Structure 1
Amino acid sequence: MALRAGRGAGLRRAALGRPGFVALACALYLAVGLAAMWPATKHFGTHFAARAEVIHGEASVGDHLQAVYHLWLVGHQLEHGHAPWLDPYTFRPESSPRVNFGGWPFGLPYWPLWAAFGPVAGWNVLLLLTYLAAGGLAYLWLRELGLPGGAALAGGLAFELAPYRVAQSAGHLRGMIAVLLPLALWAYERSRRGSRWWLALAAAAVASIPFSDLHLALGAVPFFLFYVLCRARDPWAVLGAAAGVALAVGAALLVGRLAISGSIASGGRSLNEVAFYSADGLDFLTRHRRHGQESFVFVGWLTPLLALVGLAAVLRARRFGLALALAVGVLVPTLLALGTHFPFYSTLWHHFSPLRYPRVPEREFPVACLAIAALVGFAAAWLGRRLAFVTVVLLAALFADLRLGVTAYRVARADSHNAAYAALQGPGRLLELPVLHPSVNHGSLYLYYDMQARRQRPGGYSTLAPKRAANLALRLEPLNCGEWRPGAEELLSHLGVRYLAFHSGLFSPGNGWFAWRALNAHDWGELARGGGIATLAPGRAPSPPPVREPTSRVVFCPEWVGRSPRYRHGAFWIRGSGRLDVRLESDAPDRTTITVDGASRSVRVVEPSRLSVPLGRGRWHLVRVDVVRADRRVRLVSIRTTRG
């Protein structure tokens, strides 16, 4: 039958000839890619195609900025004769140059695209080409499995437009990296009927996955091995595939040794974090994001039904090994995507240590997307075995099922030529304000602007940041609110910081005004301004703040959870005169000291307590709060000023 012989109806290659059909397939996949990237395609050359948050006066922030930075570094390093796998700028001097695993392998094609089109259009073109690669490589793999051209075209379309893959392409590299899996499967299938050198390509593809996406590799690499075992007849093919898996394991160990060990993620993630990102049953059927980007695992309404038809067709053709591989490829990642909603996930988490590191259990879901797409291809072959127009109808229906009502992209402002950053001249490290913990995704904005600054920075954005860099961020965080603690100036000098970049759109409400005034008071003045960004250097004249004075009476600094200090020290600003009167409560006895304008008062908070401290001159007063035990949750129930 058609599923065995590879000669079915549908859009036959013979209808246009092989070159014509290939051109048709490429045109279809490119057109579908442009449709998936809408509305960003309207501003293809000036704005990033990404899902991003608008920041006033700056580039829109999202994980796409981190991805662009990692890809850009590869070509930037090569142009200057340096190691393309190193990041010489981030977390300096607290860390030696870090390995830029995220730049492999797509940093290589991005290099000429960046040179030809710039960072923005270069990213958009690369993104569009990965849509072509997703559909095209899935198509080639399915052709090797014996599907007719039209059916393989449908399967490629299902993988290209898989909503999870599309959503993960709108910022993360995961949508791009996922195309390496059909490449590996296609190369393996080619090796079964041709040169064994195809196994080298399969091994390279599967071994590349852990470098840019270790979490996806947890699903993709075992699936590749299981697929080979289900399909292999030649022991040499099994050995070749096993060598590729061994290389992938080695790559994963290398990432663990050089990136994870000693990082803020070295202890793994908690089950509570996993629960926060876990999908539930409705997420597989809902076209909008019910609770965040990561748990968006919509698979379509028609597509899963076609996958069931495809599985039945494969079983009917007695291709039991292939049916088993594809069924497992769908089932296992789908169950894992449920996270803590899957009854056995907790058991797996406790007994399989690699599973303790991803906080997002859906990371392996691209494997299910590819397996579903393959089954859709088999369904298309079975349904269209007699009538060619059925395949055309299926292509249209798949597009509607996976695209309508599903939005992944926005038009993201680029700000690729910022005047404030262009004014940075001469040596010296750069510190961005507000100082952000390395795990805060807004830090990707700083990575992006460093493509213009090209200088070392104590900060950065990475969930695998060194612990020393994270601790340094906590020490520098009070600057965000205008609190220069003892030793702050010496610390900046020790770090070699000669410039500051003030991002007014990232400050907590009210904090930026105090931060700017304190910078002026410590001899930092404005160098240049571009949009919502200002750069500062020491020894320059004071200038008006780029943000407005707060209108509220009390402004808390970042180190607070509600009205409780997150750490043993916290601060806030209050406007008024006379005396500061504070009522306090706590979960357990805790000594609390309040200091303002040089005067201090202390009380052991056992039951509701009150502290009164005289205020000095001036409209605004910085109030420092110190506790002995932050875990006892001292709360400032009321804060007011009184005369007298």
Structure 2
Amino acid sequence: MSKRPIVLCLALFLMAGIIFTWPMTLDFFSSIPYTLRPISGFERVPLMPGDQLQSYYWYWLFSDNLFGNSSLLTNPYEFNGPAGPMSTVYANFPFSILYVLLLPLGSIGAYNGLILLSFLLCGLAMFLLARTWTKDLWASLMAGLIFAVFPYRVSHIAGGQLTGYVIFFLPLCLYFIEQTLTTGRKVYGGAAGLCFILMSWMDPHTSFLTTLTVGAYLPSRILLIQPFPLVQGQGWKRISFWTGFFGALTGGLSISFMFWIRFGNKTGLPFWHLDLLQPLILGVISTLLIWLYLSALFSRLTTLSFAEARLQMGKLFFIFLLLWLYALKSRINVPHLGLIVMLLCLGLFSFLLIAQWLKQRDRLLMFDRRRIWTVIIGVGSGFLIASAYLLYVRTTVFLPSVASKGRTIAEIRMFSPKASNFLFWQDINSERFVLLGWGLVILAVFGLIPLFRRNPKKPGHLVLAGVLAFLAAILTLGPTLNAFPLYQFLYQYFPFFKYSRVPGRFLMIGMIFLCLLAGMAVTTIREGLASRGWMRLRKWLPLMIILLVLAEYHTWQPLGISIMSMDNRIYKQIEKSLSDGKRVLELPIWPGDSHQSSAYEYTVTRTRKPMINGYAPVVVRDYVRQIFWPLFPMDYGEFKPNQVEKLKKLKVDLITFHDNSMVYPEKISPFPPRLALKRLMASPSLKFIDHDQDIFLFSTLPLRGGRNGVGVKPKTNLDLINDLSSKESIITSPVSTIFYTNYLPQETGRYVMDPLASGYYLLMDEKALLQGKMVPRPGAKGNVALASPGQDHPGYLVLGPNRYLPSGKYRARFRIKAGPADPLQEVGRLEIIQDRDKLLKQKVFLGREVSPFGTWIDVPLEFETSQVGEIRFRIYFSGKVSLHFNLAIIGFADQNTGPGVIEAEELLRQTGTVVPDTLASGKEAVFGKAGFHPPVFLCHGPYRTFKPGLYRAGFFIRLKDLSPIGKEKNVVLLEVATDMGKRIFSKRTVKVQDLKTDGYEPVRLDFNVPFQCEVGYRVKFLGQTDVLVDRIEVLDSGEGQR
């Protein structure tokens, strides 16, 4: 092959890489991508946690191994336990060698350079493989481009997942196999084996995919795609196609019918149910592919042509008409009738198949044994070395980890796509995103059409690609195909199959063979155009197809970009202050397999200091048991003697806390991270050092009674626990957490929709809601739970979820409506459960407590926890009195309801940082920086309960400095709303001219609360100029007027 086509291909692949990663090249040396299609407002964000930061860390780590303080192929910075690093994972090598070669571009430039390089490597590998199959330059170029830019791979590299980078090894391995079988050169066989070895070092997932692919590809390649025997069948023009086709179709329908009946009887589903179409459709497709595979195989091993073999194989499938006897099962009581009939059909089919082969076998058939043995030895040697290494990894990494038993089917099903995901942009940025697109699927189908002609070219190639593409598509759907359980079978019996929880990775295999089929379709069409003399169309056709497919694959919006260039002085302080032998703990601490911990890996790249935290796909169980759970209460600001002693053993000297919703999401706590931060600051065992942006730095102190432990008499542990409890638990948050009915399970009763109760707007479709239409969204159950005597049995009307809460005194309020009932008649029972099975508090409520009947009443129940624990609630229906439940609100007992003053920094926050501000009432304010912080909510909450009435809110806001953008430009959007912002009572857009720079002035907003509900104040940053938010003051209408 000449160099000129290669150079052309590389140039086009590089151009495609720039287009499909735009605007990465604009920020090539300062930012990295973090997602394929960002949420609106998050197109450009500061330091986004995710797998991209983990990949950046692993590339950086190898450079540190070479040029820094760490030893080669070691990871001394993460998961440090009492005896040192607890993780044996070392990722990305030897692919990270390319990162080192690109380091002259800078660390961030080298990372982005690898992304562009992956387009070249993936495109080139696919181009080379397609060229061996099609012998057509333009068809091969199209296949290479499609493989380089298809959305699933681009999504992987944008998200920093290694599989998207190194998947080029799979088509490259197949290319070397093809070259070995074609030329017989040992160097190609060795190269194919080397691909196995390299992939086992870098990515077990890609190595496993390659093993499955080569295991299916190589035997079929040897059997199907050798030169045809010398003696060929004659008279192919007189051979009937339809007889063989109807035989295979009849056999497929017969087999599918039997499984259709069995599955329908087993599940009890009606036979027109969508799930029952699976065995019908997939069974027929599978049978047709088996028919074509056997036809290609017989045309290779016998003297029959492909058309003759196709006819003979099709006739054999008529045998499966006997399976229709299974329909008589309801009338004929024959035990195991289905098994007997199936074994009879398979036995007859196999007997006649072998007889046909013995009759028609090609006695002059020859194989090039030297080439076959060359490829087997090359691939086999690499496979054995790779397998030995993977067994070592399984023993040292997987078995001691939390994933030692593999993933459960239920867990895998959560990450499994639907069939519609192949054709539509659905579940983007999730593991269920597996878009193939209409263009590629149609081209692949066109590629298979020659198999149904009288004398197709390369039937072995087409059959092999079609079968492997189909199998890959089935496996991509995971265990969702209940009536076609191929995935479940392999999960149960195939080694290593249960370790991956993401079936979507099988799409990588399918894409290779779909690209090959598309390439062969274009080759066939171009040959047909050339035979008709349409040379100009023949030249332009590949370009038109390429443009159409690329247009379908592009998101038509920029990738999400994470800004990496912002400095933070906390990094420098850690680097300078942490002494040798000491470690850093970053809060909140995670179990080790959560992507939020990647932010801590970035800290390591800036400080080169070891930490307790870490992020890995498989985490050692001892880390979770010995480190995570003992230190977990610190996520809530609780730093008690057992945590102090634990940190002493772990040699922790510095602690950071991230006041950032991306690192400290509501998944950890229903309260803002500010609560935990303030409790840590109140701890006598910590010394606050400094903070910059959203990172706060502490140092550990000896456990004494005073702030710095100077001149204070040591106390007993009991005294210290009491001190800590009293100091930390009295620090509370104004934010309440709400539990809406729609998301709660039931043991009795039913759901209903009530437009005059809270949570109603949460049931509506968001797009329709924006248009002012009330259309319930799919899956919405109701905003009220109802149980009626005589209709519903006694039991739990709702069961709340388990949520970890910090220590403190709480007040839970349950909004119920009941009656009529006698004053002393039991209506129901409220329960607070701690740590899943401990009854912490309960209250039986009687008829007198729910009067007046038929109106919503908040029934309170106070409880107290002395330490972090799981809390849930239950509401028991007595079965005697009608009971409605709307929602539950849990907040600290010292907090008020209704109007009042709330500091913005005490609320929940999606963007911005808390900064010192002498002009603010609390000397702090929430700051939003234009061009840096995403335009979402600077603050929202606190979800206080308001009674019906008129109110006036004052939002105290100021500009950071005089804005050059103009007085009419929008600064923030103010909202007062309920139903978590879905039902807006009042809103106002604030402009530059409404604000000052030298002081806070209230921006007034009047609102009407139509019924008792929970109200949130929301300040949305619009990203056009820097702004600070101090507080929100709310008065009732009378006070507001005065």
TM-score (norm 1): 0.82
Match of 1:599 in 2: none
In 2, the alpha carbon distance for the partners of 1:112 and 1:444 equals 24
2:601 maps to 1:447: yes
Cα distance in 2, alignment partners of residues 360 and 157 from structure 1: 25
Which structure shows the bigger proportion of residues in strand conformation?
2
Residue in 2 aligned with 1:177?
A: 166
Q: State the alpha-carbon separation in 2 of the partners of residues 46 and 625 from structure 1.
A: 40
Q: Post-superposition shift, 1:144?
A: 2.7
Amino acid at match of 1:69: Y
> What residue in structure 2 maps to residue 4 of structure 1?
none
> Residues 433, 417 of structure 1: CA spacing in aligned structure 2 closer, same or farther, 3 A cutoff?
same
Pairing of 1:551-570 with structure 2 (within 5 A):
551-552=734-735, 565=802
User: Which residue number in structure 2 is paired with residue 105 of structure 1?
Assistant: 94
SS at the partner of 1:535? strand
Would the alpha carbon gap of residues 260 and 190 (structure 1) be closer, same or farther in structure 2, given more than 3 Å must change? same
Among 430, 437, 461, the residue aligned to 1:300? 437
Determine if contact 1:417/1:452 at 8 Å carries over to the other structure.
no
User: Which residue of structure 2 lines up, in the alignment, with residue 466 of structure 1?
Assistant: 620
Equivalent position of 2:563 in the other structure: 413
Q: Please state how far the C-alpha of 1:57 moved relative to its aligned partner.
A: 8.7
In the alignment, what sits opposite 2:376?
238
- Cα deviation for residue 367 of structure 1 reads 1.0
Query: Which residue in the other structure is 2:387 paired with?
Result: 249
- Is 1:592 matched up with 2:839? yes
Corresponding position of 2:1012: none
Distance 1:606 1:160, change over 3 A: same
Aligned counterpart, 1:379: 521
- The answer for the alignment partner of 2:549 in structure 1 is 398
* Count of aligned positions: 591
> 1:155-234 to 2 correspondence within 5 Å?
155-171=143-159, 172-192=161-181, 193=183, 195-232=185-222, 233=368, 234=371
Secondary structure of the equivalent of 1:423?
A: helix
- AA paired with 2:31? H
Secondary structure of 1:197's partner?
Answer: helix
Instruction: Tell me, yes or no, if the aligned pair for 1:63 and 1:441 is still in contact at 8 Å.
Output: yes
Name the residue aligned to 2:635: 480
Distance 1:291 1:30 in 2: 24
Give the C-alpha shift of residue 611 in structure 1: 11
Q: Which amino acid is the alignment partner of residue 679 of structure 2?
A: A
Cα distance in structure 1, aligned partners of 2:150 and 2:862: 61
Task: Give the superposition deviation at 1:125.
Answer: 0.7
Match 1:280 to one of 398, 418, 425: 418
Alignment correspondent of 1:147:
135
Q: In the aligned structure 2, how far is the partner of 1:550 from the partner of 1:613?
A: 16
**Aligned equivalents of 2:400 and 2:394: distance in 1?**
10
What is the Cα deviation at residue 563 of structure 1? 5.7
Structure 2 residue ranges without an equivalent (≥5): 223-367, 531-537, 709-730, 740-744, 746-798, 812-828, 847-858, 877-886, 896-1042
Alignment counterpart, residue 806 of structure 2, candidates 560, 571, 577: 571
Q: Percent identity over the alignment? A: 23
CA–CA distance in structure 1, aligned partners of residues 205 and 212 of structure 2: 12
Q: 1:314 to 1:199 in 2, by over 3 A?
A: farther
Given the superposition, is the C-alpha separation of residues 608 and 90 from structure 1 closer, same or farther in structure 2, using an over 3 Å criterion?
Answer: farther
Task: Report what 2:55 is aligned to.
Answer: 67
1:512 is aligned with what amino acid?
P
In the TM superposition, residue 638 of structure 1 has moved relative to its aligned partner by: 6.5
Question: Structure 1 residue 264: deviation in Å?
Answer: 1.0
Match of 1:545 in 2: none
**Structure 1 alignment gaps of length 5 or more:** 1-12, 543-547, 577-581, 594-602, 615-620
Please name the residue that 2:699 is paired with.
Answer: 537
**Match in the other structure for 2:18:** 34
Aligned-partner Cα distance in 1 for 2:214–2:558: 28
Give yes or no for the alignment of 1:504 onto 2:659.
Answer: yes
CA gap of 1:534–1:483, structure 2 versus 1, over 3 A, is closer
Contact 2:447 2:462 in 1 (8 A): no
Farther-moved stretch of structure 1 (270-279 vs 411-420): 411-420
Asked if 1 retains the 8 angstrom alpha-carbon contact of 2:189 and 2:377, the reply is no
Partner-residue secondary structure (3-state), 1:487: helix
Equivalent residue, structure 1, for 2:28: 44
Establish whether residue 527 from structure 1 lines up as the match of residue 665 from structure 2.
Answer: no
Q: Given residue 658 of structure 2, which amino acid in structure 1 is its aligned partner?
A: H
Listed one character per residue, the Cα deviations across residues 242-300 of structure 1 (whole Å, up to 9, x for unaligned) are: 222223322321221221111011121122111111111110011x2337521111111
> Which AA in structure 2 matches 1:467?
R
Note closer, same or farther for the CA distance 1:297–1:19 as it changes in structure 2 (3 Å cut).
same
Deviation at 1:224, TM superposition (A): 1.7
Question: Greater shift after overlay, 533-542 or 129-138?
Answer: 533-542
Match of 1:333 in 2: 472
User: Over residues 384-429 of structure 1, what are the superposed CA-to-partner deviations in whole Å (9 max), with x where a residue is unaligned?
Assistant: 23222222222222322322x4668311222464321121123220
CA contact (8 A) 2:128 2:175 kept: yes
Contact 2:134–2:519 at 8 Å: present in 1 too?
A: no
Whole-Å Cα distance in 1 between the matches of residues 525 and 457 of structure 2?
17
SS in 2 for 1:295: coil
* Alpha-carbon separation, structure 2, partners of 1:554 and 1:50: 30
**Contact 2:133/2:461, CA 8 A, preserved across alignment:** no
**Residue identity in the other structure for 1:339:** G
Q: Which residue number in structure 2 is paired with residue 434 of structure 1?
A: 588
Per mean C-alpha deviation after superposition, the further-off stretch among 70-79 and 130-139 is 70-79
SS in 2 for 1:103: coil
**Whole-angstrom distance in 2 between the partners of 1:56 and 1:534:** 24
Counterpart of 1:450, as a letter, is V
User: For 1:611-631, what per-residue CA distance to the aligned partner results, in whole angstroms no more than 9, with x for missing partners?
Assistant: 9889xxxxxx9754768xx89
Partner of 1:618: none
Partners of 2:125 and 2:168 within 8 A in 1: yes
Give, in angstroms, the shift of residue 42 of structure 1.
2.8
2:679 corresponds to: 518
How far 1:496 moved relative to its partner?
Answer: 0.6
In the TM superposition, residue 380 of structure 1 has moved relative to its aligned partner by 1.9
Q: Name the larger-Rg structure.
A: 2
- Residue 170 of structure 1 deviates from its aligned partner by 1.4
Q: Which residue of 1 aligns with 2:267?
A: none
* Alpha-carbon shift at residue 451 of structure 1 (Å): 0.9
Deviation at 1:586, TM superposition (A): 5.7
Separation in 1, partners of 2:451, 2:684 = 73
1:384 alignment partner, SS class: helix
CA distance in 2 between counterparts of 1:613 and 1:203 reads 67
Which gives a bigger RCO, structure 1 or 2 (Cα 8 Å, sep 6+)? 1
Paired AA for residue 248 in structure 1: A
- What is residue 365 of structure 1 aligned with on the other side? 507
Tell me the TM-score normalised to structure 2 length: 0.52
Residue 78 (structure 2) pairs with residue 90 (structure 1) = yes
CA distance in 1, matches of 2:118, 2:553: 18
For 1:10-25, list aligned pairs within 5 A: 18-25=2-9
Once residues 225 and 314 of structure 1 are traced to their aligned partners in structure 2, the CA distance between those partners, rounded to angstroms, is 24
Q: 1:363 to 1:19 in 2, by over 3 A?
A: closer
Whichever residue aligns with residue 637 of structure 2, its letter is G
Cα pair 2:637 2:675 within 8 Å, conserved: yes
Q: Distance in 2 between matches of 1:420 and 1:340?
A: 47
Question: Aligned pair in 2 of structure 1 residues 55, 417: CA closer, same or farther (>3 Å)?
Answer: farther
Alpha-carbon offset, residue 20 of structure 1: 3.6
Please say if residues 178 and 366 of structure 1, whose CA atoms lie closer than 8 Å, have aligned partners that are also in contact. Answer: yes
Aligned to 1:86, what secondary structure does the other structure show? Answer: coil
Distance in 2 of aligned mates of 1:642 and 1:342: 53
Please tell me the residue identity of whatever aligns with 2:693: G
Q: Give the distance between the partners of 1:212 and 1:20, measured in 2 at CA.
A: 32
Distance 1:270 1:606 in 2: 39
